[in-house]
Amino acid sequence: MKHASAPRTRRPLPLPDCDRLVEALDTALRTLFAEAHSTRPFPGETGSDAGLNAPARRRSAQLMRVNHSGEVSAQALYQGQLATARNERVRALLARAAREETEHLAWTSRRLSELGGAKSVLDPLWYSASFAIGALSGLFGDRWNLGFLAETERQVESHLEGHLKQLPAADERTRAILEQMKQDEARHAVAARQQGARALPLGLQRAMRVTSKLMTTTSLWV
């Protein structure tokens, strides 16, 4: 006589604890409503933008607003991923990268102000959506979490390369910031792959590009 096998139970997905959620809320409030600070020198401090005419200055400000919104989203992504990451080594990598993204936030905020530009009014929306996406990636496991990090940084690096080509030639100060950010993003992607990041399906990569395009296009004007 065959014995009925016991029903298999699904292992519940890990949920963030209260301390992580409080920390994430604190970071959200500081990102959206306080000025970020950088422990590193501001890139381009000795650079010049004296040759910028009014249209070129407006163009630089538009590009920097997009990059500032991107750094707001980066803060949210990392905090979402940290909230659901399981492995302490992965959490350490995410936390280290998040600290550098805070510096990027400070650089882009200051430069945007110098150019006379305004931050995107949609930043709270980008933050909320990005946090949810980051938390979801972490729920699928650390290798997927790292894979999402690596692909995000790869796409950001490509985005920054595009902005460097569009930037007015006379804007040395903004150029130095974007070049340093590009180097940092590339390093984050390499670190994620070294930790065992899983390659994301092409369909998901395309969806990420579409989402990023929506944010960057909208932040250019609003």
CA distance 220 to 222: 6
Residue 16 pLDDT: 55
Residue 26 pLDDT: 81
Residue 121 pLDDT: 94
Residue 6 pLDDT: 41
Q: What is the DSSP string of 97-134?
A: HHHHHHHHHHHHHHHHHHTT----TTHHHHHHHHHHHH
Return the DSSP state at 212: H
DSSP helix/strand/coil, 63: helix
The full set of domains in the chain, from first to last, is 18-27+52-219 (1.20.1260.10)
- Rounded to 10 deg, the angle between the 142-166 and 202-219 helix axes is 40
Sequence letter at residue 109: S
Report the candidate in 209, 212, 210, 152 with the shortest Cα–Cα distance to residue 186. 152
pLDDT in tens, the chain (222 residues): 444 444 444 444 455 566 767 777 788 888 888 888 898 999 998 888 989 999 999 999 999 999 999 999 999 999 999 888 888 899 999 999 889 999 999 999 999 999 999 999 999 999 999 999 888 888 888 999 899 999 999 999 999 999 999 999 999 999 999 999 999 999 999 999 999 999 988 988 898 888 888 888 899 888
Sign of the C-alpha dihedral computed for residues 176, 180, 186 and 188 taken in this order:
negative
CA distance 101 to 157: 13
Q: What is the DSSP string of 145-200?
A: HHHHHHHHHHHHHHHHHHHHHHS-TT-HHHHHHHHHHHHHHHHHHHHHHHTTPPPP
This prediction's pTM: 0.86
Sequence letter at residue 184: D
